[in-house]
Amino acid sequence: MSDVIKLLPDAVANQIAAGEVIQRPASAVKELMENAIDAGATQIKLIIKDAGKTLIQLVDNGHGMSETDARLCFERHATSKINQASDLFSIRTMGFRGEALASIAAIARVEMKTRKAEDTMGTEMIIEGSVTQTQQPCQCPKGTNISVKNLFFNTPARRNFLKSENVEKSHIISEFMRVAIANPDIGLMMYQNGQLTHQIEQSPLKQRIVNLFGNNYNQRLVPVEEKTEIVNINGFVVKPEFAKKKRGEQFFFVNKRFIRSPYLNHAVEQAYQELIPEDMFPSFFVFLELDPDQIDVNVHPTKTEIKFQDERYIYQILKTTVKRSLGRHHITPTLDFERETAFDHLSPSKGKRVNPPSIQINPDYNPFSSGQKGGTSSRSLSGSINPAQWEKLYPDKDQVPHGPGHGKQTAITSDWDDLQSQDGKKQFLQLRSRFILVPVKSGLMVIDQQRAHERILFERFLFMLKNRKSTSQQLLFPENIHLPENDIELLREMMAQVKALGFEISEFGKNTFVVNAIPTDITENESLQDLLEGIIENYKKNKIELKLDVQTNVARSMAKKLAIRHGKTLSQEEMLALTNSLFACSMPNQSPAGKPIVTIVGEEELSGKFK
């Protein structure tokens, strides 16, 4: 048989490589800006026409290139930034693969003028579809002026795939902003279709953020700072009261490189826990500096993902640093930050370990199976509680499995049982519209109301999904919901489960869904649009961070969105209903996210405080 394998010509290989690196005009903007930074530029000018489809031009005052380098820079794997593989672990530059310019030149017409300070003449290069058209000496200022014209001219599929002008423009602005935040010592200008849209002077980081995001950020920013042997952290986080409904302004930079990391996002969000509602997101601008040998930046074509050698350590340090900064600025005065040191997690023996009380009751017990038909429940979940229905839905004390034969009981459940036996005498107190307090045999039981409700709803939804039991209420007028592109895919993925919980929902043309019916459990005190967006947001987060299966994820996402919040005042009746339902759950002391729900402040502990 004859040989069939051929080496692809360079131009074709470059075009294929370009597919990974240059996905849209904003990718070319990013690469050109990064090259200018690597060249030591202190002034960068970006000129865009037609959202980069017609022109992306970058002018820098960096060190420029010699005549030979100007020719070589468009070759694949041509770089001045590394020499050998081991250099990958000492990278301080943005670029290192030597493929960005080769990729861009493979799919566009590139015109470049560049000159080094010590040269009298510069070099002009014109290259189109990887083919050099012109190479000649020219007069030009020190630095590099590079224009990318007619991007994707020879890859029509890619060109057609581009989104609307506005979408592409916003991607470009995002890249520009990231570079601007990461490099406050560089002055930046941007022109769009002939108009100067951004002019940002060199300035300290805080001033730069204020310049980019508005004057009111001056009051909103809280500095974060921590130096350890492995990592230096600095930057700013935004005060909790300015949390946003969407994750917009969340920026991590590692050695000045913008990166995405759901794991580190989680660390920061954990630091804000209890300070902001669970469906809101903090804004932050956080810089991590590490020795390059502690990270691997060569894991993603666009270099926006990074592997840390010790990811868990970074997570802990980051969380603690942010938490302490928020505390120092008197945002969380009730927490004792001095006791929490960044290193506690490394030597658990150092700190006094408090084991959360655990509960073991019959895991097979099903709170929904006792005579309650799916069709008759009409509790309202979003924000209000109907105690009568609750009591009916969850079995009372006799039916809660306990006592001999149901496994070991811990203090909490037996305390609850004890309380149940004094029926009618339960006295609840609500603390700060957040905790439910009730005296029990061994002290004071404290229940987190939001987590409790989330647990109850989670088990209920999971049961509905597993047993296909749900009821719907028809809407008087069907409602249209408009969702962004990414959310649509997620909703499609969740659709079967969402329907199984009682939504009647179908796709209705471009980005629109029509809702005809909703679960009977939902009262309409929040718009359906917000409700669904919230559920999808939770689902997305769980999917990325926890990789939950669709069923568990939908149950969790719905429960989280619909649970009563901290801040909701509850009546005695409601607190009774909530606690009854909680202790009828199979895991009453663990929120779906694994957090404790109930704790008991023991009598001894209280007495100790009076010594």
Ligand X SMILES: Nc1ncnc2c1ncn2[C@@H]1O[C@H](COP(=O)(O)OP(=O)(O)OP(=O)(O)O)[C@@H](O)[C@H]1O
Nearest Cα neighbor of 119 from 63, 197, 72, 59 is 63
Please identify the residue of the shown chain whose CB is closest to the bound Mg ion.
95
**Contacts of 30 by beta carbon, 8 Å cutoff, 6+ apart:** 175, 178, 179, 302
> Would you count residue 18 as binding Mg ion (CB under 5 A)?
no
- In contact, 408 and 552? CB cutoff 8 Å: no
Q: CB 187 → ligand X: shortest distance, Å?
A: 16
Site for ligand X in 98-157 (CB under 6 A): 98-102, 144
The 31-50 contact track toward Mg ion, x by CB under 5 A, reads ----x---------------
**Contacts of 607 by beta carbon, 8 Å cutoff, 6+ apart:** none
| Number of residues in contact with Mg ion under rule CB under 5 A | 3
Which of ligand X, Mg ion, none interacts with 80 (beta carbon under 5 to 8 A by kind)? ligand X
- In contact, 438 and 445? CB cutoff 8 Å: yes
Element (H, E) at 458: helix 449-467
Which of Mg ion, ligand X, none interacts with 533 (beta carbon under 5 to 8 A by kind)? none
Kindly indicate which of the ranges 55-63, 123-131, 324-332, 437-445 contains the residues binding ligand X, using the contact rule CB under 6 A.
55-63
Q: Cα separation of 325 and 224, whole Å?
A: 6
* Among the listed residues 25, 62, 95, 143, the single contact to Mg ion using CB under 5 A: 95
Q: CB 16 → ligand X: shortest distance, Å?
A: 15
Q: Which residue do the tokens 């001033």 mark? A: 207
Q: Cα separation of 372 and 210, whole Å?
A: 57
* Among the listed residues 18, 30, 96, 322, the single contact to ligand X using CB under 6 A: 96
| Phi, psi (deg, nearest 5) at residue 224 | -120, 140
> Would you count residue 102 as binding Mg ion (CB under 5 A)?
no
> Would you count residue 442 as binding ligand X (CB under 6 A)?
no
84 is written with which tokens?
């050998």
Which of Mg ion, ligand X, none interacts with 78 (beta carbon under 5 to 8 A by kind)? ligand X
Q: Which residue do the tokens 């905790």 mark? A: 435
* Among the listed residues 42, 66, 80, 174, the single contact to ligand X using CB under 6 A: 80
Element (H, E) at 221: strand 221-227
Q: Cα separation of 419 and 414, whole Å?
A: 8
Which of ligand X, Mg ion, none interacts with 98 (beta carbon under 5 to 8 A by kind)? ligand X
**Contacts of 338 by beta carbon, 8 Å cutoff, 6+ apart:** none
Which of Mg ion, ligand X, none interacts with 555 (beta carbon under 5 to 8 A by kind)? none
* Among the listed residues 11, 13, 55, 78, the single contact to ligand X using CB under 6 A: 78
* Among the listed residues 79, 250, 325, 389, the single contact to ligand X using CB under 6 A: 79
Kindly indicate which of the ranges 10-18, 94-102, 212-220, 431-439 contains the residues binding ligand X, using the contact rule CB under 6 A.
94-102
Q: CB 68 → Mg ion: shortest distance, Å?
A: 18
Which of ligand X, Mg ion, none interacts with 465 (beta carbon under 5 to 8 A by kind)? none
**Contacts of 226 by beta carbon, 8 Å cutoff, 6+ apart:** 232, 233, 234, 317, 320, 321, 324, 342
Q: Which residue do the tokens 């606690």 mark? A: 579
The one-letter amino acid at 457: L
- In contact, 33 and 176? CB cutoff 8 Å: yes
Q: CB 251 → ligand X: shortest distance, Å?
A: 21
**Contacts of 340 by beta carbon, 8 Å cutoff, 6+ apart:** 320, 323, 324
Nearest Cα neighbor of 375 from 468, 453, 462 is 468
* Among the listed residues 28, 44, 91, 100, the single contact to Mg ion using CB under 5 A: 100
Q: What angle do CA 431, 437, 438 make, to 5 degrees?
A: 155
> Would you count residue 143 as binding Mg ion (CB under 5 A)?
no
Between 60 and 124, name the residue whose CB sits nearer to ligand X. 60
* Among the listed residues 35, 147, 155, 192, the single contact to ligand X using CB under 6 A: 35
> Would you count residue 31 as binding ligand X (CB under 6 A)?
yes
601 is written with which tokens?
């402040």
| Number of residues in contact with ligand X under rule CB under 6 A | 24
Between 64 and 95, name the residue whose CB sits nearer to Mg ion. 95
Nearest Cα neighbor of 568 from 421, 482, 451 is 451
Which of ligand X, Mg ion, none interacts with 144 (beta carbon under 5 to 8 A by kind)? ligand X
* Among the listed residues 52, 62, 184, 187, the single contact to ligand X using CB under 6 A: 62
Which of ligand X, Mg ion, none interacts with 179 (beta carbon under 5 to 8 A by kind)? none
Q: HSE (CB half, 13 Å, CA atoms) of 171?
A: 19
Q: CB 303 → ligand X: shortest distance, Å?
A: 7
The one-letter amino acid at 270: Q
Between 35 and 316, name the residue whose CB sits nearer to Mg ion. 35
**Contacts of 312 by beta carbon, 8 Å cutoff, 6+ apart:** none
30 is written with which tokens?
């990013």
> Would you count residue 67 as binding ligand X (CB under 6 A)?
no
Please identify the residue of the shown chain whose CB is closest to the bound ligand X.
95
Which of ligand X, Mg ion, none interacts with 99 (beta carbon under 5 to 8 A by kind)? ligand X
Q: Cα separation of 264 and 510, whole Å?
A: 35
Between 101 and 465, name the residue whose CB sits nearer to ligand X. 101
Footprint on this chain of ligand X (rule: CB under 6 A): 31, 35-36, 38-39, 60, 62-65, 73, 78-81, 95-102, 144
Footprint on this chain of Mg ion (rule: CB under 5 A): 35, 95, 100
